[in-house]
Amino acid sequence: MDQDHDALAGVTFLDSTILGTLVNGLHNAGEFGVSFTVTNPGRMTLRLLTMTGLLEVLADTPDAGARLEDLPG
């Protein structure tokens, strides 16, 4: 099943609980043989995922980090 959701597009704040939930989602998806990625994250989400190193494992494209420089602000 291939689904694309932009649930994090409007998120302006993430804490360690949400980051843990994303990591758990990634692990659970792996157990079921499905992909788990973050698509179209907002600026703050993208920044936090980059700082924590999670962007590399959760991004929908290998060059997702390059988008951070392209965002205004």
Split at pLDDT 50, 70, 90, the class of 1 is very low
Per-residue pLDDT at 40? 79
Please tell me whether the overall predicted TM-score, pTM, comes out greater than 0.75 for this model. Answer: no
DSSP classification of residue 60: S
- What residues does each domain of the chain span? 16-70
Indicate the SS3 state at residue 38: strand
- Cα 43 to Cα 9, 17, 21, 29, 31, distances in angstroms: 8, 19, 19, 25, 30
Structure tokens at 72: 């205004």
Mean pLDDT for the chain?
77
Residue 5: the pLDDT is 59
